[in-house]
A and B are shown apart, each in its own frame.
Chain A
Amino acid sequence: MRVEYVRNSSNAKKKVQTTKRELLIERIGSYIVLAILASIVVIPFYILLVSSFKTKGFIGFNNDPNPFSNMNFEGFKTALFGSIATFDDGSSKILLGLRNTFIIVLPSTVIGLFTSALSAYAAAKIRFKGRNVIFYIMLITTMIPGIVMMTPLVTIFTNLDLYNTYFPLMVPGMFGTAMCVFFLRQTFMAIPDDYIDAARLDGISHFKIFWKIVVPLSAPSLISQGILGFVAGYNDYLGPLLYLRGDDQWTVTLQTVLNEFLGQSSSNLYQALMAATVLSLIPTVVIFILCQKFFVKGIVNSGIK
């Protein structure tokens, strides 16, 4: 009996050891895979950042292995105040572009978020015939690629004489997006109906219920959707290039400036292009850092990851 017990015990120990080793291998393997995936994301940013501080063209690893050698701010100076980056009166295209981009993106994001939230509230909390049908039709529109709409939209806005104005970039966004409605509907559905019923008995209208109860209760989700909307508008490269000429102080945007840089790129302008790109990244990075807490909470609240 005793011998058998010992044998059994050593077998069990062996098994435990094997399992531990397997776990370690598994963990190391997963770290390697994650590190590779992370580097795919990080390396372009690294090259971008390092290149913006180097003088001569694209800085590959081969011709300049030390990333911190010969660093300077020439690229940023050129991007901000170089002859190519300024209008005749000396104003910086990048700074004006940044201003104009904000003027275009901010109202359309805020109003778009508001209209999306209203639709989401109706889809989640107001019972009416055909509610689901309307909602699903709206969801189907997300499957239409944006590029399909490009030609008709350009034609429409040109015919409306709105070419080279902010309207084509602002107005469509103000109606909200189906994806945002979908996310917010999920969040609103998680709010117990009793709140709505209690508010109805308290005697407030649906709009007030939405504004005074649902909006404060889903602030994180609204903020995260606002950030997503802002970033989507801010990152829209094609829109401003299609609708704005970018040749004066009011039609220049970040996108048109970057495009201008790209069009004229010679090896010595690479640094300026990289610096301009880094500058254009700053607002989104700041917003993400400031609102990261709301962003994560908002996405979790919506029940969709």
Chain B
Amino acid sequence: MLFKKKKVEDIAPEEAKPETLDSSTLNSIEEKEKSKEDLIENYVALINVNKFYDKGSHAVIDFNLEIGEQEFVVFVGPSGCGKSTTLRMIAGLEDISSGELYIDGQYSNDITPQNRDIAMVFQNYSLYPNLTVYDNMAFSLKVRGMPKDVIHARVMDAAKKLQITEYLDRKPKALSGGQRQRVALGRAVVREAKVFLMDEPLSNLDAKLRVSMRSEIVQLHRRIKATTIYVTHDQIEAMTMADRIVVMDKGLIQQVGSPKEIYHHPANKFVASFIGTPAMNFTTCRYEDGTLVFNDNKLALSKEQIKAHDAFYQEREKALVDDIQTLKKEIKEREDKLSSNSVKNRKEAKSLAASLETNKASIAKLEDDLAETANIIKNKSHEVIFGIRPEDIKANSGEDSFDASIVLCELLGDEYYLHFSYSGGDFLAKVSSELINNEKIKSMKFAFESKKIHLFDKETEKAIL
């Protein structure tokens, strides 16, 4: 092994142990160490990874993720959410500002890109235009000084897998977009690397080719069984390809889960709106003791849903109380330090005073939130964000149905997209084309599938249901 596996106690000098340890602190440290060891056990582990740029922008914030061997993980999110930056940090093309990266149990922050045993496929393929397809695929192996017969065998094997054998003598400019993408994949395949990284590899292809390449990549992954991290802004790619999806926004992980989990149980409003086509419908309404009150309509929640609602706010109250206590403890420690003359110089005193001010401001905000949460628990009346997916709005004339004026009716073959306004929000329902005879339909009766509704807290936009 080129690089020594780093011991857990070596890797976090910033977490210096306090001088005196009570039993609870010791326990929490032990727990932390244990969970860290568990994380490192995974094939790829990112622990508290951050990326800061020179001009003060914080591109990736406290990224924590463990990826199992042979897993296909997709990072998805809008442009600028930090997904490509994270991928480039794993590849070693960007420095990790803080945090730790482990690949196959090895501390990899300081390992150079070529020594990380990683293969990467780029958005614009990055095939060397002056080399033939064969030479492009063989390039990295030649650089590594492999014997010619091994290189030839690997290139031919990969070419066969990707059906590009007949193009091996061509230069990249003589290939179509799809063929170039295959060569780019082939270049990664020949490496037989530990981890495959793919940075929006299908973005430059047309819609039809993208669909076929999507399935080819999945099949290729099943054949070669390489741990793969795939970055895309296309949620359909994420849903169709991933074993696990990591949804990102503004540098933060919003949710990690299987496609099903992410789709059916989004952690917050962002995830709910980002995943799913067409997007989830949202509007604000009031929660009044187990009933959702819209402008012209009411919807009674089931017992389980009410229970989940109450549990959400109780947990929130508990978390807020904990946060306030921790902050108060910190404030006390800092105040003690300031008054005990143990501060070394004026600069340290100034920074301590500044952080005290920040802590006090945070406490004030948390106390406001706590009061509000207590109020919600007590009064059982507050505003929430209501969300429902287009396929969960049914054409129905039953008891809970409501009348909607159709603004626009779009035919998509076997189904219609019906646009209507509901309680101040623009809604869209997917309805089977068999149910609609006239395209110029003016109004229709709908009902929400009550089990499938989503509720989000208005302040934090976190999922209640």
Chain A residues proximal to chain B, CB less than 8 Å:
192, 194-195, 197-198, 200-204, 208, 212-213, 216-217
**Known: A194-B122, A197-B120. Contact between A202 and B114, CB under 8 A?**
yes
Residues of A within 8 A of B418 (CB): none
* B129-A192 in contact (CB<8A): no
* B130-A216 in contact (CB<8A): yes
Mark contacts of B337-379 with chain A using CB atoms, 8 A cut-off: 1 yes-contact digit, 0 otherwise. 0000000000000000000000000000000000000000000
**CB interface residues, B 84-120, toward A, < 8 Å:** 88, 91-93, 113-115, 118-120
* B124-A192 in contact (CB<8A): yes
Closest residue of B by beta carbon distance from A219: B130
Q: Give A42 Cβ to nearest chain B Cβ, in Å.
A: 39
B126 at the binding interface (Cβ < 8 Å)? yes
Most buried by B among A197, A201, A202, A204: A201
* A197-B143 in contact (CB<8A): no
Closest residue of A by beta carbon distance from B122: A194
Most buried by A among B119, B122, B129: B122
Bound complex: CA A145 to CA B139 (Å): 46
* A195-B126 in contact (CB<8A): yes
Residues of A within 8 A of B113 (CB): 197, 200-201, 203
Closest residue of A by beta carbon distance from B91: A201
Residues of B within 8 A of A197 (CB): 88, 91, 93, 113, 120, 122, 126
Q: Give B70 Cβ to nearest chain A Cβ, in Å.
A: 21
Q: Besides A197-B88, A201-B92, 6 other CB < 8 A contacts?
A: A197-B93, A200-B114, A203-B143, A204-B114, A216-B130, A217-B129
Q: Which 6 A-B pairs have the closest CB atoms?
A: A203-B114, A202-B140, A216-B130, A198-B126, A194-B126, A194-B122
* B120-A201 in contact (CB<8A): yes
* B128-A201 in contact (CB<8A): no
* B128-A195 in contact (CB<8A): yes
Mostly, the A contact residues are helix
Residues of A within 8 A of B303 (CB): none
Q: Give B93 Cβ to nearest chain A Cβ, in Å.
A: 5
Of the candidates A192, A201, A216, the one whose C-beta lies within 8 Å of that of B114 is A201
* A204-B129 in contact (CB<8A): no
17 residue pairs from A and B, CB less than 8 Å apart: A194-B122, A198-B120, A198-B126, A200-B114, A201-B91, A201-B93, A201-B114, A201-B119, A201-B120, A201-B140, A202-B114, A203-B115, A204-B114, A208-B143, A216-B128, A217-B128, A217-B130
Bound complex: CA A31 to CA B124 (Å): 45
Q: How many residues of B contact A (CB 8 A)?
A: 21
Of the candidates B88, B124, B139, the one whose C-beta lies within 8 Å of that of A202 is B139
* B124-A194 in contact (CB<8A): yes
**Known: A192-B126, A217-B129, A217-B130. Contact between A201 and B118, CB under 8 A?**
yes
Q: Give B185 Cβ to nearest chain A Cβ, in Å.
A: 13
Mark contacts of B63-94 with chain A using CB atoms, 8 A cut-off: 1 yes-contact digit, 0 otherwise. 00000000000000000000000001001110
Q: Give A254 Cβ to nearest chain B Cβ, in Å.
A: 37
B123 at the binding interface (Cβ < 8 Å)? yes
B440 at the binding interface (Cβ < 8 Å)? no
B144 at the binding interface (Cβ < 8 Å)? yes
**Known: A194-B123, A198-B120. Contact between A213 and B114, CB under 8 A?**
no
Closest residue of B by beta carbon distance from A200: B113
Bound complex: CA A217 to CA B171 (Å): 13
Residues of B within 8 A of A203 (CB): 113-115, 140, 143-144
Bound complex: CA A99 to CA B248 (Å): 67
Closest residue of B by beta carbon distance from A192: B124
Bound complex: CA A132 to CA B113 (Å): 25
Q: Give B83 Cβ to nearest chain A Cβ, in Å.
A: 16
Closest residue of B by beta carbon distance from A195: B126
Bound complex: CA A194 to CA B128 (Å): 10
Most buried by B among A194, A195, A198, A203: A198
Bound complex: CA A208 to CA B114 (Å): 14
Bound complex: CA A184 to CA B352 (Å): 51
Residues of A within 8 A of B143 (CB): 202-204, 208
Residues of A within 8 A of B144 (CB): 203
Bound complex: CA A203 to CA B126 (Å): 15
Of the candidates B93, B119, B129, B130, the one whose C-beta lies within 8 Å of that of A200 is B93
Bound complex: CA A198 to CA B125 (Å): 9
Closest residue of B by beta carbon distance from A208: B143
Of the candidates A198, A204, A212, A216, the one whose C-beta lies within 8 Å of that of B122 is A198
Bound complex: CA A111 to CA B124 (Å): 33
